[in-house]
Amino acid sequence: MKIGIFGGTFDPVHRGHLQLAQNARAQFSLDKVIFVPAYQSPHKQELLSCTSPEDRYEMVRLAIEGEFSMEVSDCELKRKGVSYTFDTLSEFEKKYSGATFFLILGRDAFEGIDAWYRADELKKRIRFLVAKRGACEVHVPEGARAEWIQMPLCPISASGIREAIKCERNVDDHVSSKVLQYIYAHALYREN
């Protein structure tokens, strides 16, 4: 079995995330993609998430509802504390014995992989599927096995969506209707 792990804050999950997961699954014949919302990202500790981990998990669940090859895991929420990809991979290796794992991520995160927790071990145990946009050069960290996910330019960002919602601008093109309903129902991303 070939499994893609797609971790992040997903604050909120948006169409760019879904397109990246779908492109990775199709291009590399993955059996499934598991979205893993972080309880607390080690790379964004100075910037605490705008919403609770439970809200972010629920938004991902709603966004992928009906997608036969995608699921969401609450493993990092259950562990609490800082979420490390190494720990999540170890947990999935026990759960899906014999599977081959691929980590789906963007170019910036990939280029900074050497600063990740237990990076050298992680690089030996997983293949990286990296979103490469346009003709930009990508620095491949030593020892990392990487392949490129072909993606059209996607100008969507979670921070841009949060700002648009705060300013009451329309984000229908960037967020699924189910996620948007959840955001409005729970008054997320509004000024306190």
The better pLDDT of the pair 90, 192 is held by: 90
pLDDT at residue 31, rounded to an integer = 98
- Contact by Cβ (8 Å): 166, 172: no
Q: Please tell me the distance from the alpha carbon of residue 112 to that of residue 175, in angstroms, as a whole number.
A: 28
Whether the predicted pLDDT of 57 surpasses 70:
yes
Q: Is pLDDT above 60 for 47?
A: no
Give the global pTM: 0.94
Sheet arrangement for strand 2-8: 70-72, 32-37, 2-8, 100-106, 127-132, 146-150
The pLDDT tens digits of the residues spanning 85-124 come to 999 999 999 999 999 999 999 888 899 999 999 999 999 9
What is the pLDDT at residue 133?
Answer: 66
Quick: pLDDT tens for 132-188. Answer: 766 677 888 999 999 999 887 777 889 999 999 999 999 999 999 999 999 999 999
**Measured distance CA(52)–CA(188) in Å, rounded:** 10
Q: Which residue's structure tokens are 């059996």?
A: 31
Give me the domains of the chain, ranges plus CATH numbers.
2-153 (3.40.50.620)
Reported confidence tier of residue 18, pLDDT bands at 50, 70, 90: very high
User: Does the pLDDT value for residue 192 go beyond 70?
Assistant: no
Position 61 scores a pLDDT of 98
Q: What is the reported pLDDT for 45? A: 53
Which pLDDT does position 134 carry in this prediction? 64
Please report which confidence band the pLDDT of residue 44 belongs to, taking 50, 70 and 90 as the band edges: low
